[in-house]
Amino acid sequence: MNNFVLKYCLNLLNTRIKAKLVHSFIIIFFLSFNSQAQDVHFSSFDVNPMFLNPANSGFSSASFRLGTMYRNQWSTVSKGYNSYLFSAEALLYNNRARKEGIGIGVNFLSDVAGSLSYGQQNIGLSVSYFKAIEKKSEHYISVGIQGNSSKWGYDLTHSVFGRELEDIEGIQLNTINTLDFGMGVHWQLKANQQHYLQAGIALLHINQPTLSYYEDSDIKLPTKFNFYFSDLISLTELYSIKPTIFFQRQNQYQEIIIGSDLNINMSETTLDSKILSFGAYYRTIDAFIAMIKYKHDNINIGLSYDINLSKLTPASKTYGGVELWLLYSFNSLAYTRKTTSIPCPRF
């Protein structure tokens, strides 16, 4: 009887060890090959303009802009994704007579997931140049470039492999460092008192750096393509809507987000700006996104939540991702709002 119990316990322990080994390998294998084409994405994609398109870096009515975002996703499935974004921008040069300028920005991104804390840490630097197409109207175009230094990897102390060299399944690295660059174009036009149009295109990871934990230089970080378009439509002095479409593609993965904000002007005087916004968006074949935003002068805060509608609904229990953000714009002591030549929609 004692031998039977001992043999049963040893078999059970052996099974659990094998399961742990297989689990660790599957996670690394999946993240190395299948997730290579999926960058961090935010449902509130247009909240941080520089992260959306390098052409937006410093392109603002303020001389400085600071931002932070946080996203938590798939927390009900396992240790889900936790994404953090911090950004800082400055308007370095602004010529009112020629209606042109230069902006610069830096962002730090951290994204980790799973029991192995797999993910990336990224530092990016962006520079933009903008100029008015028509000097007598609010019609601008901006171009920008971006450089990124990224560290990809997982926590080796929480991974389990066998004792033999071949048990690591050929995995030779637990961290990878990449350098890549991107570029973008942004266009905006105040067509009349009712319509303020914006659109942009961005290409990221143009050089497609190697992203492999093996001796395989053919595994690349694919180029990502972004496109967005919006129209801020004034309905009355109190209400406006902002229909928006966003398209993103990276390798065989793509997403389309369509929806609109309803903006309510709560300003008490013409000198202040108080705007409450409610947004409803749909990410095709994936999720419904609900948002609430509040802008008080130079401070912009908001919250969004994804309700999962995909085939993962049984596992996620319809829970998706929650996002929080805060943006703060300000001017230097010698710089007032009246001196700016950059029109930005406030309503």
- pLDDT value of position 171: 60
- Higher-scoring residue by pLDDT: 131, 158: 131
Region of residue 235 (phi > 0: left; psi between -120 and 50: alpha; otherwise: beta): alpha
Confidence of residue 188 (pLDDT cuts 50, 70, 90): very high
Q: Is 60 exceeded by the pLDDT of residue 226? A: yes
Confidence of residue 122 (pLDDT cuts 50, 70, 90): very high
Amino acid at 158: H
Mean pLDDT score, 110-119 = 79
Q: What DSSP assignment string belongs to 168-201?
A: GTT---SEEEEEEEEEEEEEEEE-SSSEEEEEEE
Q: Is 70 exceeded by the pLDDT of residue 135? A: yes
d(CA 318, CA 331): 43
Among the listed ranges 15-29, 98-112, 114-128, 136-150, which one has the minimum average pLDDT value? 15-29
Confidence of residue 58 (pLDDT cuts 50, 70, 90): very high
Confidence of residue 134 (pLDDT cuts 50, 70, 90): confident
Going from N- to C-terminal start, the domains of the chain cover 2-339
Looking up tokens 């085939």 gives 311
d(CA 341, CA 131): 10
pLDDT tens-digit profile of 319-342? 678 999 999 999 875 554 444 456
Both structure tokens of 246: 């966003």
Angle (nearest 5°) at CA 78 between 75 and 82: 50
d(CA 67, CA 78): 29
Q: Helix (H) and strand (E) counts for the chain?
A: 3, 14
Q: Is 70 exceeded by the pLDDT of residue 265? A: yes
Burial class (CB in 10 A: 0-12, 13-18, 19+), 140: buried
Q: Pick the closest to residue 124 from 142, 102, 143, 150 (CA basis).
A: 150
- Higher-scoring residue by pLDDT: 117, 231: 231
Looking up tokens 């609900």 gives 290
- pLDDT value of position 5: 44
What is the rounded average pLDDT for all residues in the chain? Answer: 82
pLDDT tens-digit profile of 272-323? 889 999 999 999 988 999 999 999 999 999 999 998 887 665 655 666 789 9
Q: Is 90 exceeded by the pLDDT of residue 77? A: no
Both structure tokens of 132: 């008015």
- pLDDT value of position 214: 72
Q: Is 90 exceeded by the pLDDT of residue 91? A: yes
Contact (CB, 8 A) for 214 and 172: yes
- Residue range 2-339, CATH number: 2.40.160.40
* DSSP letter assigned to residue 238: S
Contact (CB, 8 A) for 220 and 208: yes
